[in-house]
Amino acid sequence: MPAADGLHPPVAYAGHWTVLAVLLLLLAAGAVLGVLRATRTPAAPGPVGTESDAPEATVLPAAQRRRAHHDLDEAGRRYASGDLDDRGLALAVSATVREAAATASGVPASALALADLRTSPVPQLAGPVAAVVAACYPPAFAGGAAARGTALDATALLAAARAAVDAWT
C-alpha cells in the first residue's frame, strides 16, 4: 500500500531469483569459454626450433655447385674489372651462397637475417654460410669501403664463399 506521499516501500524478491541470475551468468560465461575452446588452434606439441625440427642437411647437387662456383667466379671477375664495387660484390656473393644453401638445406636462407643463420640448427648454415654473410654485411649495408674506412678483401671473401658452397657435401 502506498504511503501518504505516494511512494511504495521496497519489495523483497524471493531467493530463487538470485540463484537463477547467478546460474544464467555462469551459463553465459560457459558458452563463451566453450566457443573459444572449440575454435582455438591446438598448440604445438613441443618447443619449436629444436634439433628434431631441423631440416636435414643434404648434398648440393653437382650442377648447382658448378653454377654457384661460376657465379662466384663471375662476380670476382666483374669486381676485378671495376664493374662491381665493394657493395655489389658483397651482395652478389651473399645471394649466391644463400641460394646454394637454400637449395641444399630446404631452408629459405635468402629470407633469414644473420642472427637467424647463426642460430640455425643446420650446421652448415650456422657455420660457413653465416660467416660469409657476416663478412658481406658491412659493405652491403654501409655503402662500401669508403663508408667503413676499410678495404674489402675480395680474395678472402670469394675463398670463404667457395668453401661455404663446398660445405654441402
The C-alpha atoms of residue 165 and residue 169 are separated, in whole angstroms, by 9
18-75: per-residue pLDDT in tens?
Answer: 999 999 999 999 999 999 998 988 766 654 444 545 555 577 888 888 999 999 999 9
Q: By three-state DSSP, how is residue 1 classified?
A: coil
Query: What is the reported pLDDT for 109?
Result: 85
Q: pTM of whole model > 0.85?
A: no
For residue 125 the three cell numbers come to: 648454415
Whether 141 and 152 have beta carbons less than 8 Å apart is answered as no
Locus of grid cell 654501409: 142
> Of all residues in the chain, what percent carry a pLDDT higher than 90?
31
